[in-house]
Amino acid sequence: MPKVVSYKKGSIPYFEGDRDDRIFILQKGCVHLSAVDVETKESVVNQVKPGEFFGVKSALGRFPREETATAISDSIVVCLTVQEFEANFSSNTQIILKMLRVFSSQLRSIHKKIESILQSVPEKPVTGMYSVAKYFYDDERYVSCYDVCLKFLLRFPTSVYTDEVKRMFKESSLHIQKNPSVYDELGIDADGGLRQFELPAFERFAKKYGPGQVIISEYEPGDTFYLIQKGEVQLLKCVNGSAKNLDILRAGEFFGEMAILDNSPRSATCMAKTSVKCLEFSKVNFETLITGNSQLAMNLLKLFCKRIYDQHRRFKVLVINDNQARIADVFLLLHEMQPNNTAADTTVRLDVTISDIAHWAGLSYETTKEEMSKLNEKRRIELFDNYGIIENIADMKRVVDLYNTQADKNLQIKMRYKTQGSSE
């Protein structure tokens, strides 16, 4: 049963870094959520108003609290476990949609900050989609090129790139005709299906894709999102004529959900890695869908919570100004992402290449290779073609902690001089 709890002025419902599954609703009083901005190191405070939820993201995502909650006046809150939240609110479409839109906005904001640090200049959709199609064509991945070209021609039939896209589309079609099996062999394995979505009512949303087929192209307008029933979907991002592997999604996971909430262009290309069966939903039936399926709504909420945390964690890596400390934090991040890691781990194997580390760290390949070589010389890591061995993951944490300690000292000195200067 949800509990009603009173907090005296100055009481703290939870601290930054705490782990628990409580979700709060403020009934009376005033609560502030305070945290330190990882980029500016300045304090950020948000006020919770009566009737509002707080503590939702960390509870649903099962990660540490990212802020400290403080009662600014005598306050009364309702405390719910995740299970109680699901039981009481998962069928409340209005609340779920509001949370999804808030979380979508937060995730988009973090993406923009990351792009700013990486000095990425967002391309126009028409230019971006053309570059994706050209990448697949140049890489002789004709099935993928065919799909992106088709999407392009439907979206931008009169662009300056249309003739070139038609040429790539025709060439890709000829290559596929010589080897048509990829479009014929769309049988789906029986493993990994989702029983809750195997009802006849969902069959009208079902789509099947063969290996290499593009389900979503980066930069195209977003008007559908997908739930994987069976198979694996690979997420790619094309940058300067090459592709970065972002993730592999499996049965039960969603993709394309951000665009349907905030009308933004697609931020990645989603391609069938194996034979895939997925359910395709549109903006038109989205609200009806979550109204009739509370578990789907909760899964979407939890997905957003996880992605916000993951992106915020990567942002923490990118604001580190020391290259070796940044790479050390990449090792920590990748270790945290491993499903079976424990605090007792010492020697850790990471299945990544120097290019992967460079991508996560936002550094050039040459800079990353140089810093990795220094760590290798000190016997802190061993490098192989497709993986690396971290001799003691605690060493990486010490490198990052030392950097953060020094950065805090430098900030205090800077603030002291700034205060003295203003007083004079």
Give per-residue pLDDT as tens, 318-372: 999 999 999 999 999 999 888 777 766 789 999 888 888 988 898 888 999 999 9
Give per-residue pLDDT as tens, 175-199: 988 876 655 444 444 344 445 555 5
Average confidence score pLDDT of the chain: 86
What proportion of the chain, given as a percentage, has pLDDT over 70?
90
pLDDT of residue 212: 93
pLDDT of residue 187: 44
Residue 161 has pLDDT above 50, yes or no: yes
pLDDT of residue 189: 43
pLDDT of residue 193: 43
Give per-residue pLDDT as tens, 80-116: 999 999 999 988 888 988 898 888 888 888 877 887 7
Q: What is the mean pLDDT of residues 379-390?
A: 88
Q: What is the mean pLDDT of residues 137-148?
A: 94
pLDDT of residue 262: 67
Report the range of poorest mean pLDDT among 93-97, 155-159, 163-167. Answer: 93-97
Can you give the three-state secondary structure of the chain, one letter per residue? CCEEEEECCCCCCECCCCCCCCEEEEEECCEEEEEECCCCCCEEEEEECCCCEECHHHHHHCCCCCCEEEECCCEEEEEECHHHHHHHHCCCHHHHHHHHHHHHHHHHHHHHHHHHHCCCCCCCHHHHHHHHHHHHHHCCCHHHHHHHHHHHHHHCCCCCCHHHHHHHHHHHHHHHHHCCHHHHCCCCCCCCCCHHHCCHHHHHHEEEECCCCEEECCCCECCEEEEEEECCEEEEEEECCEEEEEEEECCCCEECHHHHHHCCECCCEEEECCCEEEEEEEHHHHHHHHHHCHHHHHHHHHHHHHHHHHHHHHHHHHCCCCHHHHHHHHHHHHHHHCCCCCCCCCCEEECCCHHHHHHHHCCCHHHHHHHHHHHHHCCCEEECCCCEEECCHHHHHHHHHHHHHHHHHHHHHHHHHHHHHHHC
Residue 153 has pLDDT above 80, yes or no: yes
Q: What is the mean pLDDT of residues 17-41?
A: 93
Q: Which of 117-131, 178-192, 374-388 has the highest mean pLDDT?
A: 374-388
> Is pLDDT larger for residue 231 or for residue 183?
231
pLDDT of residue 179: 76
Q: What is the mean pLDDT of residues 136-165?
A: 94
Give per-residue pLDDT as tens, 232-287: 999 988 877 777 777 788 888 888 877 666 667 888 899 999 999 998 888 777 77
